[in-house]
Structure 1
Amino acid sequence: MANDYVFNDQLPVAPLKIAALESCRVLAGKVNDHIVDFRRNDIEELKRREADLHYRGYDVDSYLLSCGCPRFGSGEAKGIIKESVRGTDIFAMVDITNYSISYTVNGYTNHMSPDDHFQDLKRIIGACSATAHRVNVIMPFLYESRQHKRSKRESLDCAMALEELTAMGVSNIITFDAHDPRVQNAIPLHGFDNFMPTYQFVKAFLRHYPNLPIDKDHLMVISPDEGAMDRAVYLANNLSVDMGMFYKRRDYSRVVGGRNPIVAHEFLGASV
């Protein structure tokens, strides 16, 4: 079935290439398959209207870029792209929370941390930013997003990471449900898109529990802390159910492990 619309007289910025790091290859494969089908249907619709989209690299079998980050015996790595990206629009995809990938350091097995994934992302950007028309980063979980503000003598890691990426030539950064989207203030002149996957969450939830009755007698939305209140309020209002939340009562007279210990979890709301 052809798409309901076409981009009338509007060409893409440049030929598309998806630079999927090992941590995000499965998701990137699904994105690639969707774009391939989408654009082929687009071509069919344009031909039906006696028009054609003459554009280099618009309709190809795959938009995935052949790239990788091999490591030396010392554990150090390098970014390699195995095809030309001159004049292309690069979308680098990385999942910094994929802990399943391991590598060897001096004979020891080491699982990749968010820092390792972020370094690999910078290696791929460094390998292609000089010749690519534009570089974009898709990071489903924003790197260091929990360290988004300074409360004591602390480093602002998320802001530094965003500034580091833009300094390397990244034009746009795309993430989902950032811990605090106000971190984009660190890069006000660059693109920062924070998409909320609320609809996808509800759809997956209802598909997994198809017989779940959505009413006040059978369902209640509970926020685990104050930080998730906005999300819980949004879900409760749209599903027309009750809402509650947990409040973490802390002992501010002591510091254990760099933070004030939690004394108790107090539940606020109607009876479950």
Structure 2
Amino acid sequence: MSREMKLFSISNERPLALKIAENLGVSLCKMSLQRFSDGEVKVSIEESVRGKNCYLLQSMNRNVNERMMELLIMIDALKRASAHQITVVMPYYGYSRQNQKARCREPITAKLVADLISRAGATRLISVDLYAAQIQGFFDIPIDHISAVPLITEELLKKYGDKDTVIVAPDHKGVGRARRVAEKMQKPIAILNRKSYPYEKEIINIIGEVRGKTAIVVDDIIDTGLRAMTSAEKLLEAGALEVIACATHAVLVGDAAKRLADSKLKEIIVTDAIDIPLEKQFDRLEIISIGAALASAISGVQENRSLHPLF
């Protein structure tokens, strides 16, 4: 017998949570969040979850440490309320960039986060376009790693499929992602050869031909916007006709939105895996929703169906 689904979002007004709920045909469950004067968080679940399959949406974008504590406290509350299963839906995985020891005496914080989520009581994780696929192996619970790349590629095909286009990896690490888009669009790829950390903003040269083409830079995260901006400048200097940037996660810290709005990029295409407040939205920013994809992942888990089409 299928157990009842309960969908929670710690911030109940999040647009993505409401889109997921709409696609699933359910309402967000009632809960309250209280903050004490010293910053402590208290969660109250305002309906029964005993024996239910609970899905908890929380993305680690702004104030990542605060959001992490909210998530862990909510998982603990669900566990103590006798939920049958607790699936964390984390579109953007916080601390994902700290997934290996690059130098001596460094932590692997992405693994620590995985341990915290598992030990708190989560029984499954759904995430979108992890910074490093190896993070899947950090968990001892099942993890469903879905991708927004097909949605972004579909949008790129509509707008630029009939143009003389080249798909650009912003660095060597992004070649795999760029190749997936290039194969789907049947376009060539190019690679921006950047200097190593901490000088990665400097581009040594471009591997591949971009002159006279529409260049589409495919990334996973747009954080400060500097990489997208410097990519556009270098590609235009090399003769590209126009440059489009796209990414799954628009973190947009600090003045990143203004930097992108003032840049030479023709368009920036991102998803709503991270909520983008109105003050950070601008004319050339297009936001594609992954609400339907995440709803499909949740219903697939709920009904024990394969999620292969979403990978």
TM-score by length of 2: 0.63
Match of 2:110 in 1: 158
- For residues 69 and 13 of structure 2, the distance between their equivalents in structure 1, rounded to whole angstroms, comes to 15
Cα deviations by residue, 1:165-202 (Å, 9 ceiling, x for unpaired) = 11111111110111112122222x41011112221112
Cα deviations by residue, 1:209-231 (Å, 9 ceiling, x for unpaired) = 3xx3435xx21111111121101
Say yes or no: does 1:17 pair with 2:9. no
- For residues 165 and 154 of structure 2, the distance between their equivalents in structure 1, rounded to whole angstroms, comes to 16
Kept in 2, the 8 Å contact 1:145–1:179? The answer is yes
Match of 1:186 in 2: 138
Matched position secondary structure for 1:79:
strand
Cα 1:228–1:76, aligned 2, differ >3 Å: closer, same or farther?
same
**Given the alignment, which residue of 16, 25, 30 partners 2:19?**
30
Report how many residues are paired.
Answer: 208
**Given the alignment, which residue of 65, 68, 71 partners 2:32?**
68
Matched position secondary structure for 1:75:
coil
Cα 1:168–1:24, aligned 2, differ >3 Å: closer, same or farther?
farther
Match of 2:188 in 1: 242
Cα 1:33–1:213, aligned 2, differ >3 Å: closer, same or farther?
closer
- For residues 220 and 271 of structure 1, the distance between their equivalents in structure 2, rounded to whole angstroms, comes to 7
Match of 1:122 in 2: 72
> Deviation at 1:236?
1.1
| Equivalences for residues 168-183 of structure 1 within 5 A | 168-183=120-135
Matched position secondary structure for 1:137:
strand
- For residues 26 and 119 of structure 1, the distance between their equivalents in structure 2, rounded to whole angstroms, comes to 21
**Given the alignment, which residue of 121, 146, 150 partners 1:195?**
146
Cα deviations by residue, 1:145-178 (Å, 9 ceiling, x for unpaired) = 1111112211111111111111111111110111
Structure 1 gap segments, 5+ residues each: 1-10, 37-61, 100-112, 251-258
Q: Give the AA of the match of 2:98.
A: Q
State the superposition RMSD in angstroms: 1.9
Q: Give the AA of the match of 1:166.
A: S
Kept in 2, the 8 Å contact 1:247–1:268? The answer is yes
- For residues 124 and 71 of structure 2, the distance between their equivalents in structure 1, rounded to whole angstroms, comes to 14
**Given the alignment, which residue of 162, 171, 177 partners 1:214?**
162
> Deviation at 1:68?
2.9
User: Matched residues, percent identical?
Assistant: 20
Cα 1:263–1:145, aligned 2, differ >3 Å: closer, same or farther?
closer
| Equivalences for residues 125-140 of structure 1 within 5 A | 125-130=75-80, 131-140=82-91
Kept in 1, the 8 Å contact 2:153–2:185? The answer is no
Cα deviations by residue, 1:120-151 (Å, 9 ceiling, x for unpaired) = 11111111112101101000011211111112
TM-score by length of 1: 0.71
- For residues 161 and 52 of structure 2, the distance between their equivalents in structure 1, rounded to whole angstroms, comes to 49
Match of 1:44 in 2: none
- For residues 23 and 246 of structure 1, the distance between their equivalents in structure 2, rounded to whole angstroms, comes to 41
> Deviation at 1:262?
3.8
Structure whose alpha-carbon radius of gyration is higher: 1
